[in-house]
Structure 1
Amino acid sequence: MPELPEVENVRRGLETLAVGKTVSAIDIRWSKIIVNPDEVFTAGLVGQQITAVDRRGKYLLIRFGEQLTVVSHLRMEGKYEVVAKEAPISKHTHVIFEFTDGQQMRYLDTRKFGRMQLIETGQENTVAGLKDLGPEPTPTTFLKADFYQRLQKHHKAIKPLLLDQKVVTGLGNIYVDETLWLSHIHPETPANVLTRIETDRLHDEIIAELELAINHGGTTVNTFLNAIGHAGAFQEMLHVYGKKGVPCERCGTPIEKIKVAQRGTHFCPKCQIKRDAK
């Protein structure tokens, strides 16, 4: 599933390729992608110009004019491309936005899990999944003291807590494993056991790792491509994710893989020691 760095790279690509273009028609080839009735979605957007592409957590917010926004979640395999209308259409293309300049913005999704919802701009917090998101992982919005206090309220393991998007948004399976390894924290350690020093370090690693991943185009493990058609390069910089049996870069102990909250989880058994609940 694309995580924050991948979605941010899609956003940047669409900002470059799609902003300023006006929709002349929409071809919906798989209706389940669209949360609204097809006719409502189409009627609302035809004639509208894309004015901006924003992001909240793992959601794209495609702005049309001043009053309408399409909230787009890529889920597992969703991706966008902006191409000439003459370009061959993949069988995995499910929504096509025709532009007045002869180009098209296409949404492709091999698993058809992605969703788009047309809303009034400013109503983002009424959308399921958006309204409960935690702060963006930036120094000005993701505050150390608040992060520590939030973790102190939870007895559950730190990994699933970071995955649920409520204490900080944007982390998925890859970057949780990576930031916990960087912070020397076992993924099953109860959140409220962590000290202020540990949570401060985890806070800083989350911000730094996501920023680094964004700057390297995100991580391509299976099929991720940005809107320009480029794969990410950050998979070459991963420390533990996908490295079961590979010696830990710090201590040489083989990386282990277990299930935590039904998710494959990579960690170093020597560098990341599990601690018991209080």
Structure 2
Amino acid sequence: MPELPEVETTRRKIEPLLRGRVIERIEHDAPHKYRNTEAAHGKRIKALTRRGKYMLLHLAAADAADDVPHELELIVHLGMTGGFRLEQGKHTRVTLHTEGGVLHFDDSRRFGKWAVVAPGEYAGMPTLAAMGPEPLDDAFTETEFVKAAAHCGAVKVWLLSQKPVSGVGNIYADESLWMAKIHPAQTRLKPAEAKRLYQAIREVMRNAVDAGGSSLGNGVGNYRQHDGLSGLFQHQHHAYGRDGQPCERCGTDIRKIVLGQRGTHFCPKCQKLRQ
């Protein structure tokens, strides 16, 4: 957390507050976590995009014409508990001052990271550099996914690597595998299994984005949007976080195991491990 749906919702919500604005300064006290941010001072935010779980602010000179390519990218990774807020709080780590106002970055567990780099220079971010296609883009094709899935290891671990498809984390891997009726530890998917999973990933991600992502629990690190609103997709979860509750498809209790050091939820009847 947050995964693609939460990051995409965040991007859409803060874009009107930032696009076209000039960054006056970025304040923080952790230069090892928020790297080279002074390079963004005086730059105009031309656009906000997203790649997997990363948000990218495209920066250019304040007086640059609209058709001039951006010269820097401010990359934001929300980590486990990061998010933007209109008001400063006890867990505010970064404050972004623009000519249009102030936006605060809160992160109770301190796993979020910022970095200003030249466009596409992601050597210090190997996950971003080697990330697979976006699940809702045309570049994510069933043919290539089926071919790659035939040689995968444990399928959930494979999905979490971000290489076959970007932005799928713990929540949405569990939900997609439940929908596709595939055990999370299954290896070497058959074509029919891979096709089901491909369609499930696209459907789950589309629905989660439409719902504004998932907000879990009531703690301070609970994902919510900058205006305080929570996501709603948690009300559509079929597997994640439902251990001990009946499967909504067959009635068998959902189980939780640890796979790839991540809590993993599945139905032992609907999602049998094929030998």
TM-score (norm 2): 0.91
Check whether the contact 2:44–2:59 (CA below 8 A) recurs between aligned residues: yes
Offset, 1:239: 0.5
Gaps of 5+ in 1: none
SS in 2 for 1:31: coil
Task: Name the counterpart of 1:268.
Answer: 267
Task: Name the counterpart of 1:173.
Answer: 170
CA RMSD, aligned part only? 1.5
- 1:152-171 C-alpha deviation (Å, 9 max, x unpaired): 223x2111011110011111
AA aligned to 2:201 is: I
SS in 1 for 2:271: coil
Offset, 1:124: 4.5
Quote the Cα distance in structure 2 between the aligned partners of 1:163 and 1:153.
16
Aligned residues: 262
Task: Name the counterpart of 2:15.
Answer: 15
SS in 1 for 2:43: coil
Offset, 1:247: 1.0
Check whether the contact 2:92–2:104 (CA below 8 A) recurs between aligned residues: yes
Quote the Cα distance in structure 1 between the aligned partners of 2:25 and 2:137.
41
SS in 1 for 2:11: helix
Task: Name the counterpart of 1:117.
Answer: 115
Task: Name the counterpart of 1:135.
Answer: 133
Offset, 1:233: 0.5
Farther-moved stretch of structure 1 (143-152 vs 221-230)? 221-230
Task: Name the counterpart of 2:46.
Answer: 51
Task: Name the counterpart of 1:62.
Answer: 57
AA aligned to 1:22 is: V
Gaps of 5+ in 2: 61-69
Quote the Cα distance in structure 2 between the aligned partners of 1:159 and 1:128.
20
SS in 2 for 1:60: strand
Quote the Cα distance in structure 1 between the aligned partners of 2:137 and 2:7.
19
Check whether the contact 2:150–2:190 (CA below 8 A) recurs between aligned residues: no
SS in 2 for 1:162: helix
Offset, 1:33: 2.4
- 1:94-141 C-alpha deviation (Å, 9 max, x unpaired): 11111223x112111111111111011243577432111011102511
Quote the Cα distance in structure 2 between the aligned partners of 1:249 and 1:136.
29
TM-score (norm 1): 0.90
- The answer to whether the aligner puts 1:253 opposite 2:252 as a matched pair is yes
- Residue correspondence of structure 1 range 1-12 to structure 2 within 5 A: 1-12=1-12
1:72 alignment partner, one of 70, 76, 79: 76
- Residue correspondence of structure 1 range 157-168 to structure 2 within 5 A: 157-168=154-165
Identity %: 39
SS in 1 for 2:208: helix
Task: Name the counterpart of 2:197.
Answer: 202
Offset, 1:30: 2.9
Check whether the contact 1:244–1:256 (CA below 8 A) recurs between aligned residues: yes
Task: Name the counterpart of 1:26.
Answer: 26
- 1:57-94 C-alpha deviation (Å, 9 max, x unpaired): 0000011222111111111111112x3xxx5x212111
Quote the Cα distance in structure 1 between the aligned partners of 2:33 and 2:121.
20
Offset, 1:46: 1.6
- 1:4-35 C-alpha deviation (Å, 9 max, x unpaired): 00000011012122112212222113333213
SS in 2 for 1:69: strand
SS in 1 for 2:47: strand
Check whether the contact 2:2–2:53 (CA below 8 A) recurs between aligned residues: yes
Q: Report the CA distance shift for 1:139/1:51 in structure 2 as closer, same or farther (over 3 A).
A: closer
| Divergent runs of 4+, >6 A | none
Check whether the contact 1:96–1:107 (CA below 8 A) recurs between aligned residues: yes
SS in 2 for 1:200: helix
AA aligned to 1:143 is: T
SS in 2 for 1:130: helix
SS in 1 for 2:215: coil
Task: Name the counterpart of 1:96.
Answer: 95
SS in 2 for 1:274: coil
Task: Name the counterpart of 2:64.
Answer: none
AA aligned to 1:221 is: L
Quote the Cα distance in structure 1 between the aligned partners of 2:159 and 2:238.
18
SS in 2 for 1:254: coil
